[in-house]
Amino acid sequence: MITVFKNPYFIFPCIIFWANQYFERIHHIFIPFVHAYLDDLLAMPVVLGITLQVFRWIHPLKNTLVFTKFQVALGWVYFSFLFEYALPKWSHAYMADILDVVCYGIGALIFYNFINVSQEKI
């Protein structure tokens, strides 16, 4: 049985995300472009990957369940709205950046094409 958690296209973004957070928070190493955009690029593969795996545990289709293009696009729009519009309006701790929206979109495409696969496609 294949799971999202064994998919290298899911594992790699998780490891890179963890490593980036480790170096930034523990060692205070900040590479400006990486600090600004890497987490946004990895957010959709990680969040949608975890979400897909949870759905597969509880949904009758199990490992054949995949998200539709609309569902993945909705996740991209939701993240973009929340983190690039709503939170910056609510708090000065957040800053809107259109390149973050682009990174979410690239991450959503990575998720859709490489992680969002059913056992039937393998």
User: Residue 121: which pLDDT band, with cuts at 50, 70 and 90?
Assistant: low
Q: State pLDDT tens for residues 62-77.
A: 999 999 999 999 999 9
Please tell me the pTM assigned to this model.
0.92
Write out pLDDT tens, residues 82-97.
999 999 999 999 999 9
Range list of H helices, 1-111: 8-25, 32-58, 69-81, 87-90, 98-110
Asked if residue 6 has pLDDT above 90, the reply is yes
Distance between CA 2 and CA 117 in Å, rounded?
Answer: 10
Domains of the chain by residue range:
7-121
Rounded distance, CA 99 to CA 97, Å?
A: 5
